[in-house]
Amino acid sequence: MGFVTLMATCYTCGRPFTCSPTLVPSVPPHLTRTGQKEPVCRACIERANPEREKNGLSPIEILPGAYLADPDTPESELELDRELGR
């Protein structure tokens, strides 16, 4: 069994991050300047969810493995950011 890791740039903040291309939350094509589905980093999703809930919208779900470089590794992109002081 294989695993693909995507090195992406967050559509919202422009920060590079790694993710699973099939699991990462994305902005739909009809809402982007590019006309393509665009990935969003964990930090931006976590910042957006409280505002969404305040406005009566459901939070954006972060699927398990969406931000993991390796599905068998417990460290998430967010934990790595904390270690690096980002």
pLDDT of residue 47: 96
Choose the weakest-confidence range: 2-16, 17-31, 39-53, 70-84.
70-84
| 40: in domain | yes
Q: What angle do CA 46, 21, 10 make, to 5 degrees?
A: 45
User: Where does the pLDDT of residue 74 fall: very low under 50, low under 70, confident under 90, or very high at 90 and above?
Assistant: very low
- Which helix (H) or strand (E) segment holds residue 85: the answer is none
| 4: in domain | no
Structural domain range at position 76: 23-84
Domain tally, the chain: 1
Model pLDDT for residues 23-73, shown as the tens digit of each residue: 999 999 999 999 999 999 999 999 999 999 999 999 999 999 898 754 444
How far, in Å, CA of 26 to CA of 84, rounded?
A: 25
Look at the alpha carbons of 69, 72, 77, 81 in this order and tell me if their dihedral is positive or negative: negative
pLDDT of residue 43: 94
pLDDT of residue 65: 87
| 18: in domain | no
Region at 85 (left for phi over 0; alpha for psi -120 to 50; beta for the rest): left
